Amino acid sequence: MQTHLIGLKSQLRKEIDMHGKPLCYKQGTFWIHPRDPYFAMTKSAQSADGLSPNTLYYPSVFVWLPHLLDLSPLRCKNAQCRQKNCVLTVKGWNDNPVAHRVVALDDVYYVMTMRVQCGIHTGGCGKSWNLYDPMIMEQLEPALSSAFPAFLTHQSGIDKTVMTLVRAGMAHRVSASGWSKIFRELHVRKHDILELDYLNAIHFIRKRAEALQLAEIPSYMPFSAFDDKDGYAGFSPSSSGK
């Protein structure tokens, strides 16, 4: 997961250098989605390394770089700043973590953004903020800020549509522990469906190899466990919100 996100960050940096914006923006979307399982497995089977489940672990990524869309200068609103309304400058991409995890209905996606800072060299306070910080969001045009899909906490986040569903469920007496069990079932189900897609791809390749009477039928990497941080890296929230 970390390797994939770092690769996406590098790709976005190159696209911005070449085009001024990420290519997904030019295509009319904030999202970078992975290939659908059928196409992911077809491409993997045709690669030099052969069929692997790795691309089925890739999450969707929401690219949040509003300063490239709303060109009005962002200003520091920190009450302790010595220079009021100092214009913020881009500090760079996040590294740890590279992107912020958000819980969706049956999987997770990641928000990738940059940080802006109030420069000390211009008389500012030196503090920095992510581009999804409330202080930044309040300065954006409403149509842009409303496109942001999640409510974020320090460690994680929850999709806005999912939060609406949870609120409606709470109003109808679905408890926090009940929602935790529901999310766990849906997220594990998504993992199991992707594992089945992988096994179907293996079955197809072996069936074809047998029909061609090939001498050797290769073995394949097992699909990752749901909570394997070096593989699928699945996550569902507990009733305590962690």
**Strand ranges (E), the chain:** 31-32, 61-64, 89-93, 100-103, 108-117, 128-130, 150-152, 157-159
Distance of CA 76 to the CA centre of its chain: 27
| pLDDT tens-place string over residues 158-187 | 999 999 999 999 898 999 899 999 999 999
**Which of 92, 67, 76 is closest to 126 using CA atoms?**
76
- CB of 111 closer than 8 Å to CB of 64: yes
pLDDT tens per residue across all 242 residues of the chain: 889 999 999 999 999 999 999 999 999 999 999 999 999 999 999 999 899 999 999 999 999 999 999 999 999 999 888 888 899 999 999 998 999 999 999 999 999 999 999 998 888 899 999 999 999 999 999 999 999 999 998 778 999 999 999 999 989 899 989 999 999 999 999 999 999 999 999 999 888 887 777 667 778 999 999 999 999 999 988 766 55
The full set of domain ranges for the chain reads 2-69+97-109+137-211
Q: For the whole model, what pTM was predicted?
A: 0.93
